Amino acid sequence: MQRETALKNWLASRYPGRDFTLAFAAADADFRRYFRATFADGSTVICMDAPPDKMSIAPYMRVQKLFHMVNVPDILHADEAQGFMALQDLGKVPYLAALQHDPRPEVHKALLLDALRELVVLQQASKPGRLPEYDREVFIREMQLFPDWFVAKELDSALNFKQKQLWQQALDTLLPVLEAQPQVYVHRDFIVRNIMLTADRPGILDFQDALYGPVSYDVVSLLRDAFIEWEEEFVLDLVIRYWEMARAAALPVASDFDHFYRDFEWMGVQRHLKVAGIFARLYHRDGKDKYRGEIPRFLNYLRRTSRRYHALAPLYALLVELVGDEELQSGYTF
């Protein structure tokens, strides 16, 4: 309540003489919270509360300027010392809600294609040296969340000698393929919870952790999502459509689609290992259980992909030893 009171006082100082009500809008997996301020004339702004002892709003402000070519919220007011921002309100309907509301495949395809078009616009603007690199060190650090948090905490176990060998073989196979991918701006959490349905272009949120990295990363983030799942044939069709758009936009994707699809799938393995670890950490370290139920979706993604590629056989063998080979149930499926 202390932070909320401070936010109200700060907002009143930025909009003197204007009465408003403040209502909770959303919370992130980290420490940020969002509120919607509604003024007497019906206009609204979104207020970000990011406790400065926990995190800085500076990365958000820096990336917001860099991503100006896509529909990111305007920053209306910002106070780095207090960790408050007033942002343009992009509405109340995230893609996830819109997709769950209307299960028709043609609706899902149209919305996702709009998001992929926006992604192509972002990637076309990419320039090296503007964002930190998504390099080998980051790949390894993120994948290590899987044994450190999913295996150690969620499974209450530890990798034995043989399993450690399988894990290392998997890393040694994955890393050269990940590092070889051409680099572009990477949103890093380009998922349906972070894309808003608007009357114009899709609104893009939660971009403050952006890096310069593999061209397939955001595509796999969107199409192999944490909270909604589509049939393989549907995903394949959309990956082909993205690849065609990317080629037409002169983006550095592989000229052979099979090569690009391998990059897409193997990039997904890296992300799925990371997210399974993050969701376990959120529960066991931070006491946040709303993401825990989606871990099985990532285990399914991991098994399906590692089963398809002979080179990923060590990872598949490890997963079978850890969690078996049966499909697990989680969340929404379309």
What tens digit of pLDDT does each residue of 179-230 get?
A: 999 999 999 999 999 999 999 999 999 999 999 999 999 999 999 998 999 9
Q: What percent of the chain has pLDDT over 70?
A: 98
Residue type, 332: Y
Stronger pLDDT, 330 or 234, i.e. the higher one = 234
SS3 213: strand
- Please check the confidence at residue 281 and state whether its pLDDT lies above 60: yes
Q: Identify the band that residue 329 occupies on the pLDDT scale cut at 50, 70 and 90.
A: low
In this prediction, residue 225 carries a pLDDT of 93
pLDDT digits over 43-101, tens only?
999 999 999 999 999 999 999 999 999 999 999 999 999 999 999 999 999 999 999 99
β-pair type (33-39, 75-79): unpaired
The answer to whether 149 touches 277, Cβ cutoff 8 Å, is yes
In this prediction, residue 122 carries a pLDDT of 98
pLDDT digits over 28-45, tens only?
767 899 999 999 999 999
Specify the CATH number of the domain 95-333. Answer: 3.90.1200.10
In this prediction, residue 334 carries a pLDDT of 33
DSSP 146: I
- Please check the confidence at residue 332 and state whether its pLDDT lies above 70: no
User: Which residues, including other chains, have CB under 8 Å from residue 63's CB and lie 6 or more apart?
Assistant: 131, 207, 208, 210
* Cross-strand bridge partners of residue 49: 33, 84
In this prediction, residue 31 carries a pLDDT of 83
Question: Residues 300-307: contacts with CB within 8 Å, 24+ apart?
Answer: 300/327, 300/328, 300/330, 301/224, 301/268, 301/272, 302/269, 302/272, 302/273, 302/276, 303/327, 304/232, 305/265, 305/266, 305/268, 305/269, 305/272, 306/170, 306/269
Q: Identify the band that residue 326 occupies on the pLDDT scale cut at 50, 70 and 90.
A: confident
- Please check the confidence at residue 330 and state whether its pLDDT lies above 70: no
pLDDT digits over 92-121, tens only?
999 999 999 999 999 999 999 999 999 999
Helices (H) and strands (E) counted in the chain, each on its own, are: 12, 11
Q: Identify the band that residue 328 occupies on the pLDDT scale cut at 50, 70 and 90.
A: confident
What is the residue whose two structure tokens read 């820096």? Answer: 62
pLDDT digits over 241-269, tens only?
999 999 999 999 999 999 999 999 999 99
Specify the CATH number of the domain 2-87. Answer: 3.30.200.20
pTM: 0.94
CA distance 327 to 78: 46
Q: What percent of the chain has pLDDT over 90?
A: 93
Domain with CATH 3.90.1200.10 in the chain: 95-333
CA distance 107 to 321: 39
Average pLDDT of the residues in 287-306: 95
CA distance 151 to 192: 27
- Please check the confidence at residue 295 and state whether its pLDDT lies above 50: yes
Length of the chain: 334
CA distance 123 to 234: 23
Domain with CATH 3.30.200.20 in the chain: 2-87
H/E segment holding residue 3: helix 2-14
